[in-house]
A and B are shown apart, each in its own frame.
Chain A
Amino acid sequence: MNAAAKKLRTVFVLAPCVFMTAMLLLPALNGLVLSFDHHGPSLGNYRILLGDPMFWRALANNLLVPFGSVIVEFALGLALALALTAPRKRSALIETAAILPFAIPEIVILTLARYIFMPRGYLNGAIAMTGMHALPWLSPRSSLAMLTVIFVDAWHVTPVVMLMLMAGLQAIPAELYEAARLDGAGTLATFRFVTIPMLMPAIVGALILRGIDALRIFSTVLVLTGPEGVPVLSTYSYSLWDDAQKPQEAMAASMILALMVTLIGVGGLLFARRYSRDNGALK
């Protein structure tokens, strides 16, 4: 059985990996080569980027927005996970409502968010009803627009974080809580010394996955503010390609994003590996 089965396994692992590599990695490598093509091989495209103030704004935003978004979705996701994991208060309705934002296609969420946050949108309508001043939620280049983008981005993926953390919470043995209670630990102490340490592997895993996704932010920014309102590297690259018709510069910008994601992602994975080795909790 072994030789034939081994051959099958090899074919079975190679076919999908080759397909993914051909469709995703090879184009990216081709883009890498083209990004060094500026009337012949040179660093010209990158030099142009470094001289463009919009590039630096996109780069800074590409760190700030994902950071903010991950913080917001973890705070909300953890709160929801804790609330929904308490068995007695469990409600199918609330749970479904909590998952709903994720089930809705991202583009639909963003379309909605646009109607809610636009200058004469529903949010300002509600604010006006209370007699307060309407706010320019999406005004280009404002820090308020950045906060709005962060909030909308987090709103959509909070359910994912919640589900990841719920899986972690449900894996904590009930005996630990029982023991903590017998030892006289209160709600806060139990949370601090039982829940959080036991949940750490789930938190680390979710942070890495969500962090990588958050760095690739594209559609939230594009739909809410257009490519220049709160530029990030993806939308900056997109507008270089689509509006400015400068594909090589666009690819150079996208390579810087890829480098950033790779560095942070590999760093995160190495950290997680070391963490799991030291704690023996993650597989």
Chain B
Amino acid sequence: MNGRAGSDTAGPGLAAARYVLNALVVAGGVLPLYILAKQSVTPELETFAWPPHWMPHRLTIAHFASVFEVSELRSAILRSLGVAAISAAIAITLGAMLAYAMSRSPITRSTGFSTVSGIRLLPMITVAIPLGIILATLGIYDSPSGIGLALVHAAIAIPTAALTMYASFAAIPLEIEEAAWIDGASPLRIFLTVDLPIARTAIATALILCFILSWDEFGFALLVQQTNRTLPPLLYYYTVFGNVGPASALALLMMIPAVCVVVALGSSLRGALIAGTSR
């Protein structure tokens, strides 16, 4: 008895439905990847052919070459990496503090939880337009380093980071901290030398998630880095202006970090992925 969905007692109808579902899942997940891969290695003329080619007729590496030759593209890759790294570093630092505080007292828990929930209600566009004005006043709007964007990404990633780490901190027995206290360690030192090492798996997961969150983020990047673009807005412009080949090559490259992580870590990332949705 498999129990959960009550399915192995079900008739052939349900089994057939499951095969259809599986086929749809594979089609929905894999077919698009194939199309993207095909477009990235075929000449653009072929991509615009009608009827569309399902198999590539001629192959080219020109699009991938252009990704590394065109300076706009190269700098966008570096900028995306930098923004993601800086924002992830800030987000897990502040996120770990928040998660730890939330795991240790009901008052800090409710403060943290209401801030996080409240922040979640703000639409990107409501924040991004006036934020652009503020960043311009500070002189970091559209900066080549992307520092303004990194700060916003850090802010939107803190809830993800904190929720990912919260359970690990909450699971650490207070007796361990008390033992360290009796040995004369200050609360800060206890946090740094006792709690952080115990929670390291969750911290690593949070770091990866925050990195990907920034790497994938489109809305703020589009509005805050208008000319010094990161990869998602650059891909958008390539797509809209019909540069199919480079767009497809770029899209494939953009998927590498996230897909590696999901395939490699799979189920251990699940809970964290759930916490980490954002738009």
Contacts and interface: CB of A to CB of B under 8 A. Distances in A.
Contact of B123 (A15, A250, A257): A257
A107 interface: yes
B101 A28 contact: no
A266 B240 CA distance: 37
7 contacts: A8-B101, A13-B112, A100-B33, A164-B274, A177-B1, A219-B218, A247-B129
A30 B129 CA distance: 10
A254 B128 CA distance: 10
B4 to A, nearest CB: 5
A190 B127 contact: no
Given A13-B102, A24-B127, A89 B18 contact: yes
Given A13-B111, A89-B18, A97-B30, A25 B118 contact: yes
Contact of B270 (A85, A163, A181): A163
Given A10-B101, A217-B279, 13 more contacts: A5-B104, A19-B154, A24-B155, A25-B122, A31-B129, A101-B29, A102-B273, A107-B216, A107-B232, A125-B50, A177-B3, A218-B125, A237-B129
Contact of B104 (A9, A99, A219): A9
Contact of B3 (A95, A104, A174): A174
Contacts of B159: 20
Q: Is the interface of A mostly helix, strand, loop or mixed?
A: helix
B29 A258 contact: no
A96 B155 CA distance: 30
A12 B108 contact: yes
Interface of B: 1-10, 14, 18, 21-22, 25-26, 28-30, 32-33, 35-36, 39, 47-48, 50-52, 54, 94-95, 97-98, 100-102, 104-105, 108, 111-112, 115-131, 133-134, 151-152, 154-156, 158-159, 162, 178, 181, 186-188, 191, 215-216, 218-219, 223, 232, 235-236, 239-240, 244, 247-248, 251, 254-255, 258-259, 261-263, 266, 270-271, 273-274, 277-279
Interface stretch (A42-50, A115-123, A140-148, A274-282): A115-123
Q: Is the interface of B mostly helix, strand, loop or mixed?
A: helix
Nearest to A238: B125
A59 to B, nearest CB: 14
Contacts of A112: 32, 35-36, 251
A169 B7 CA distance: 14
Interface residues of A, number: 114
A30 B251 contact: no
B125 A160 contact: no
A195 interface: yes
Contacts of B97: 11-13, 15-16
A191 interface: yes
A250 B223 CA distance: 13
A177 B279 contact: no
B219 A219 contact: yes
Contact of B22 (A25, A94, A104, A105): A94
B134 A30 contact: yes
Interface in A122-179: 122, 125, 128-129, 155, 157, 160, 163-164, 166-167, 169-170, 172, 174, 177-178
A261 B120 CA distance: 10
Nearest to A251: B129
Contacts of A94: 22, 25-26
A120 B52 contact: yes
Rank and list the top 6 A-B pairs by shortest CB-CB distance, nearest first.
A31-B130, A23-B155, A100-B29, A12-B101, A125-B52, A97-B29
A237 B100 CA distance: 38
With a 10 A CB-CB cut-off, give which of B26, B32, B124, B254 has the most chain A CB atoms.
B32
A89 B258 contact: no
With a 10 A CB-CB cut-off, give which of A16, A89, A129, A164 has the most chain B CB atoms.
A16
Interface string A253-269: 01101100110011001
Contacts of B273: 99, 102, 160, 163
Contacts of A17: 98, 111-112, 115
B50 to A, nearest CB: 5
Contacts of A217: 279
A244 interface: no
Given A16-B94, A88-B8, A178-B3, A108 B235 contact: yes
B178 to A, nearest CB: 7
A204 interface: no
B180 to A, nearest CB: 10
Contacts of A170: 4
